[in-house]
Amino acid sequence: MTPPPISQTAAFERGVRPLRAELERAARRYTGNAQDAEDLVQETLTKAWIGYGSFDPGTNLRAWLFRIMVNTWISRHRRTERRPRELLTDTFSDAQLARDRSSSHPSAEVEALQALPDGRLRQAFAALPGTLSRAVYYADVSQYAYKEIAEIEGIPLGTVMSRVFRARKQLRLALSDLAPAQHSAHESVTAA
């Protein structure tokens, strides 16, 4: 008398049960923590159950399950790497979030210009064309090397050197009458 055929569910359970602990250990090595390892094993077994109809009985079930787990882990890892990094912050209210979104933050260049002590210098800098003001800002305020500026702007090194030279020249011309005026004002204060 031949034994009755085993159902697909029973065959799956009988084959997987002895391998579960081994799958959990491997999943923990991949993920680094118990919760993610448990999720990985669950997802692996779910995919294995769904695809069990395509499994050829008599072949290596262990290798098949591990291949499913490795592929699942790789897919998860790639998905995680593509996501933007999430950082924990202090608690905040919806009102604070709305207020923060509505306020515009000035750029670093604008903040640097506002911090300049002399209004004429600020005006002279603001009068420069954008390409020249950025070049002189990076060179003189941020103290970047010309090579770094070229990389930031995506332009040749010679172009950076030319822009910085032209920007400094225009600033000197715009401020050329400033130095004698300050010097004469200083003399009149000391003479009094």
What pLDDT shows up at residue 4? Answer: 45
Task: List for the chain the helix, strand, coil content (%; round to 5).
Answer: 75, 0, 25
User: Which CATH code fits 108-178?
Assistant: 1.10.10.10
User: What pLDDT digit, counting tens, does each position of 127-183 carry?
Assistant: 888 888 888 888 887 788 899 888 888 889 999 999 999 999 988 888 776 555 444
> Percentage of the chain surpassing pLDDT 90?
20
Distance CA 47, CA 36 (A): 16
Question: Which two three-digit tokens encode residue 106?
Answer: 């000035």
**Is 108-178 the same fold as 8-82?**
no
> Percentage of the chain surpassing pLDDT 70?
71
Q: Domain residue spans in the chain?
A: 8-82, 108-178
Q: Where are the beta strands (DSSP E) in the chain?
A: none
Distance CA 136, CA 151 (A): 15
Distance CA 151, CA 5 (A): 70
Query: Any idea which architecture 8-82 has in CATH?
Result: Orthogonal Bundle (1.10)
What pLDDT shows up at residue 141? Answer: 78
Q: Which residue has the higher pLDDT, 91 or 75?
A: 75
What pLDDT shows up at residue 176? Answer: 78
Type of residue numbered 106: P
What pLDDT shows up at residue 184? Answer: 47
Mean pLDDT, residues 59-69 taken together: 89
What pLDDT shows up at residue 108? Answer: 62
Distance CA 103, CA 113 (A): 19
> What number of residues does the chain have?
192
Flag whether pLDDT at 55 surpasses 90: no
Q: What is the pTM of this model?
A: 0.42
